[in-house]
Amino acid sequence: MNDGEVKRLGLRSKLLDNAFFRIGHTTALAIGDAVRFIARVIRGIRPTTRRARRALVGENARRVSVFALISALVGTVSLPAYAFSPEILNAAEVTQDVVVTSDTALAVDHSKFHATSLAQIRRNASNQVIYPAYSGPSAEDYLKNPPYPDFSLAKVFDVAKKYIGVPYRFGGASPAGFDCSGYVKFVYSQFGVDLPHSASGQAAMGRPIRLADARPGDLVIMAGHDGIYAGNGKILDAPAAGGYVSIRKIWTSNFYIVRIGIN
C-alpha cells in the first residue's frame, strides 16, 4: 500500500469518526431533550395529581356532608310532632303502632308510621285504662248547689284527698278520671268556686303568694300543669297518662303558688 492510499484511508477514518461523533452527539442531545421534556411533564403532572387528589377527597367529603345533611333532614321530618313539645313525657305516655320482633322483616311499610300530637298520645294512653264508673254530680252541678259553702283551705285539702287513686284521664273532670286542671276544678266547685278547665286560666284566677306562706289547699302552678299544695314541698295532683291522683314531692323549682277563694 502506497502513501496515497494510506492518506486516503486515514481521511476516510476521520470522516467516519466525525460522522459517528455527530450522530452520537445529536442522539445524546435528543435523548437529553426528551428526558428534560419528560421531567417537565412529570413536574407538571404532580401538582395536577395533587389537585385532583385533593379535589377527589374534597368531593368525597362534600358527598359525605350532603349525605349527612340529607339524613338529618329526613330524620327531623320523620320525628313525630310530640318530639318538639317542651313537655317531658313519661314512658307510660308513649304508645307504639308497630312491634318489632325477631321474625319481623327489616323492610317496614312507612304507611304504618304517622306524626301525632302530645294530646293524641295522652288520649291513646288513657284509652288503655279501665276507669271507675261515676254517675254523681258534675262540677257544674256542684256550682249550683255547693255542699261546702263555708270555704276554707284546710277543708279544700280534705276534700281533694278523697280522690287519691283516681286515674288520669285526658280532659277528665270527674271521679271517672281527672286531668290536672279538671281535678282542681272539680274540688273547688264543691265550695262554689267556679274555675276554668285550664291550668293557666286557674293561675290567672289566683293571687300569687310566697312559698313560705303557702298552705295545703293553695294551688301549685307550673308550665302546663297545676295541682293542690299538700304542704312540706309536696303536691296533690293528677299527674299524666298512666298515673293516678296522688301526693308527691314537687320535682322542679319552676313553680309558684296562688291562693284562690280567700285573701
What are the pLDDT digits (tens) for 191-214? Answer: 999 999 999 999 999 999 999 999
- Same-domain pairing of 131 and 66: no
pLDDT for the residue 232: 96
Residues 72 and 183 placed together within one structural domain of the fold = no
Q: Identify whether residues 156 and 60 lie together within a single domain.
A: no
pLDDT digits (tens, 9 = 90+) for 60-107: 555 545 455 455 444 444 444 333 333 333 433 333 333 434 344 444
Note whether residue 203 is domain-resident: yes
C-beta separation of 238 from 182 below 8 A: yes
191, part of any domain? yes
Residue type for position 215? R
**One domain for residues 151 and 230:** yes
Assigned domain for 120 exists: no
Residue with cell 308550665: 223
Mark which of 57, 78, 99 sits at the end of a domain.
Answer: 78
The residue with cell 304517622 is: 114
Tell which residue, 136, 152, 164, has the closest CA to residue 238: 164
What is the rounded distance in angstroms from the CA atom of residue 199 to the CA atom of residue 179? 10
Q: Which has the closest alpha carbon to 257: 153, 168, 112?
A: 153
Tell me the whole-structure pTM to 2 decimals.
Answer: 0.54
Q: What is the CATH number of the domain that holds 136?
A: 3.90.1720.10
Q: What is the pLDDT of residue 129?
A: 75
Q: Are residues 70 and 134 in the same domain?
A: no
Round to whole Å and give the CA distance between 144 and 74.
55
HEC string of the chain?
CCHHHHHHHHHHHHHHHHHHHHHHHHHHHHHHHHHHHHHHHHHHHHHHHHHHHHHHHHHHHHHHHHHHHHHHHHHHHHCCHHHHCCCCCCHHHCCCCCCCCCCCCCCCCHHHCCCCCHHHHHHHHHCCCCCCCCCCCCHHHHHHCCCCCCCCHHHHHHHHHCCCCCEECCCCEECCEECHHHHHHHHHHCCCCCCCCCHHHHHHHCEEECHHHCCECEEEEECCEEEEEEECCEEEECCCCCCECEEEECCCCCCEEEECCCC
Residues 129 and 247 in one domain: yes
The pLDDT value given to residue 27: 62
In a domain, 94, yes or no: no
Contact 204, 193 (CB under 8 A): no
pLDDT in tens, 132-183: 899 999 999 999 999 999 999 999 999 999 999 999 999 999 999 999 999 9
Residues 36 and 157 in one domain: no
Do 69 and 170 fall within a single domain? no
The answer to the question of residue 107 being in a domain is: no
Assess if residue 212 is contained within a domain: yes
Beta bridge partners of 231: 234
Question: Do residue 245 and residue 144 come from a single domain?
Answer: yes
Q: In what order do the strands lie in the sheet with 225-231?
A: 207-209, 256-259, 219-222, 225-231, 234-237, 246-249
The boundaries of the domain holding residue 140 are 125-259
Residues 54, 174, single domain; the answer is no
Burial profile 193-219: b = 16 or more Cβ within 10 angstroms, e = fewer: bebebbbeebbebbeeeeeeebbbbbb
Answer yes or no: do 130 and 72 share one domain: no
Does any domain span residue 149?
A: yes
State whether 67 and 136 are in the same domain.
Answer: no
Which of 74, 99, 89, 230 has the alpha carbon at shortest distance from 156?
230
When divided into structural domains, the chain yields a total of 2
Is 26 inside a domain boundary? yes
Query: Taking all residues of the chain, what is their mean pLDDT, rounded to a whole number?
Result: 75
